[in-house]
Chain A
């Protein structure tokens, strides 16, 4: 017995896993109608895997919600549909059809307005339509400096807005699930994970991810110094006037909308390679996310308006 105890040491990944599962179970216990935001990226893959573990052998007791801007990579849509079918979960997809019909795009309106309409707008209507009182998101504190100030349970008012100066204290592992009429919470079970933790966990647990995290030859243009992928099936993901299309071996460190997600040059085709690149990286994983580059407080401003 004491021998077993000596031998059993929880490493950082198992500690993070246990903390996340505890958070997911807590929300499922205390909220009437939770939903898991599923964005198809690596963090979502991990969050979903943790939810499966949390309720095994029962099914995940809440639906998934994807907020689709229409600008995601074709590989993401394909992966999403297959992944969710295999899990047998209910996948809800929300698109801001009105904005999409009116040709909302980052070139004419800027990234801030485009995100506000397609992401934040879509998200808020999805939450309202589903009458969800809690929404899981895969955001991590390490990603961005305003996210570093986020609680695990982030209270939002009826407009989904975050008030960073008026957050509840969060003590021990005791989460306060009491909210007022009209309020909801965003829950971040991956708060304490870093990019490297995510990749290491994907590896040890064999978690499926969208294949474009691995390097492949791809049509790209260089736009403002960022390698932007090209997909000629839609005007806003096609090359712009005067841009030279090249084929480069690239992959993505984080996934968003095609016009706003930069690729990195890489030869890496396996998970060990990804982990090595993450460890050697001198730039943060959001370096190529055009939406963060607006100003020093881009993300904080978006969060205040209801973004994750």
Chain B
């Protein structure tokens, strides 16, 4: 059988949706995920059996006699304490999509994990407890999701069974939340409000019989229908040079290819490409591939480009198309989520990892710190764990970047502490200083 024939037997039109779930302690995130896995039949009998034993000792048990949160709490300490400590990744499929869930804990001290989960997400499920409404943490979750540029939201009002499935309760929480959406200047049409009971299964995978007043989609309906191809392939072409491949054998004489993951846009043989910062340009001669060379490649593919001319480019450089180049940046402002217990200080040097570049940087000033409850801007001289602020940076060597609002890959970076080597902050470029 040829490869083409073989491929027909596999469903090749499904794509991947990455989403994250956030909520405060006890809002029922793990229960919701357990419910999605269970109702979509993604849980194996042996896994179920292992938690059934423990479930009998717990109070958080659904109609099936299972504490679903036990399915997702992976570490011994989590099962003992009944809390989620670390980001857990879960996988399930429906006939329409493959889903990757980043289940992130709600405790204040673990907010950095939420940022981690949100950074690659196409969608966030913000979980609220119908009895409690919006909490300080919900405000923080909405803020972080919006800063990280997540394009779609589900606001799931959970534990509706505990408020008699009341429409009034749901409406009033929705109204309150819309005020947050306004304050964050987010687009209302990207929000879906859904009343659910994760414990009983209402409106998660299956439609609820307890809320006639709600005619909207279930959580799975939204997850299956949200558009993730977006316009990332229609944006300007960006490819950070990651690795230079050299070979010299009978088939490939003096081969020199530039390998990397396409961040955005598309590229085809014959396109005129410019390498930054050298500003040398050439035409694409070949998109080399193991199976069969490609004529065309799009965002999110890992490719290997061969040019017609020899051009000066290496790891850390950015390839663009002529006429739509990214900026060469030595000074910029960025939103920073500080993730370390050590304080963030200005005038201190950090390492920045941005695309395939590692550059020394100095913070020259904190423009403002965001109050996570009121979203108001206040001045600050240092930052502590979980603080969010807009900070100015100066670089020792330029990077090639876009604004985060335009490109989540070429606009993002991490800060690394030079002494501890830890990842201490997530950064999103908001302004380039010319």
Contacts and interface: CB of A to CB of B under 8 A. Distances in A.
B120 A10 contact: no
A29 B261 CA distance: 14
Interface string B201-243: 0000000000000000000000000000100011000000011
B112 A169 contact: yes
B296 interface: yes
Contact of A192 (B89, B242, B354): B89
A202 to B, nearest CB: 11
A16 B300 CA distance: 9
Interface stretch (B12-20, B56-64, B323-331): B12-20
A10 B298 contact: yes
A192 B412 contact: no
B266 A52 contact: no
Given A149-B74, A275-B10, A296 B54 contact: yes
Contacts of A284: 44, 46-47
B90 A148 contact: yes
B423 A146 contact: no
Contacts of B296: 4, 8
Interface in B394-412: 408-409, 412
A101 interface: no
Nearest to B86: A149
B305 interface: no
Contacts of B116: 169-171
B13 A18 contact: no
A218 interface: no
Interface in A176-212: 176, 178-180, 191-192, 194, 196-197, 200, 203-206
Q: How large is the interface on B (under 10, 10 to 19, 20 to 34, 35 or more residues)?
A: 35 or more
Contacts of B255: 57-58
Interface in B103-148: 112-113, 115-116, 119-120
Nearest to B71: A145
B74 A146 contact: yes
Nearest to B118: A171
A54 B259 CA distance: 8
A131 interface: no
Contacts of B164: none
Contacts of B243: 25, 28-29, 54-55
Contacts of A57: 245, 247, 249, 251-252, 255, 288
B416 A194 contact: no
Given A149-B75, A178-B351, A9 B229 contact: yes
Contact of B89 (A26, A191, A200, A283): A191
B223 to A, nearest CB: 14
A297 B93 CA distance: 26
A178 B15 contact: no
A302 interface: no
Contacts of B229: 9
B345 interface: no
Interface in B1-39: 3, 6-7, 9-10, 12-16
B353 A174 contact: yes
Given A149-B88, A169-B339, A200-B10, A25 B259 contact: yes
A102 interface: no
Given A5-B233, A29-B242, A287-B46, A172 B120 contact: yes
Interface in A1-56: 1, 4-5, 8-19, 21-22, 25-26, 28-29, 52-56
The residue among A5, A53, A58 with the most chain B CB atoms within 10 A of its own CB is: A58
A168 B112 CA distance: 9
Contacts of B426: 169, 171
B327 to A, nearest CB: 19
A12 B229 CA distance: 12
B300 A18 contact: yes
B360 interface: no
A248 to B, nearest CB: 21
B266 A176 contact: no
Contacts of A156: none
A95 interface: no
Nearest to A29: B243
Contact of B74 (A9, A175, A300): A300
A282 B44 contact: yes
Given A11-B12, A169-B112, A192-B100, A55 B245 contact: yes
23 contacts: A5-B233, A10-B15, A10-B300, A10-B301, A11-B14, A11-B15, A13-B10, A19-B302, A29-B315, A55-B245, A57-B245, A145-B71, A148-B90, A149-B89, A164-B75, A171-B414, A173-B261, A176-B421, A192-B89, A194-B93, A196-B93, A200-B10, A287-B44
Interface of B: 3, 6-7, 9-10, 12-16, 44-47, 50, 54, 71-77, 79, 85-91, 93, 98, 100, 112-113, 115-116, 119-120, 229, 233-234, 242-243, 245-247, 249, 251-252, 255, 259-261, 266, 268, 288-291, 296, 298, 300-302, 304, 315, 339, 351, 353-354, 356, 408-409, 412-414, 416, 421-423, 426
Interface of A: 1, 4-5, 8-19, 21-22, 25-26, 28-29, 52-59, 141-142, 145-149, 164-165, 167-176, 178-180, 191-192, 194, 196-197, 200, 203-206, 272, 275, 281-284, 287, 296-297, 300
Which 5 pairs across A and B sit closest by C-beta, in order of nearness? A145-B74, A21-B302, A178-B421, A284-B44, A58-B247
Given A53-B290, A169-B423, 16 more contacts: A8-B298, A11-B12, A15-B15, A17-B302, A29-B243, A52-B290, A141-B89, A148-B89, A168-B422, A169-B116, A172-B412, A174-B412, A176-B421, A205-B3, A272-B9, A282-B45
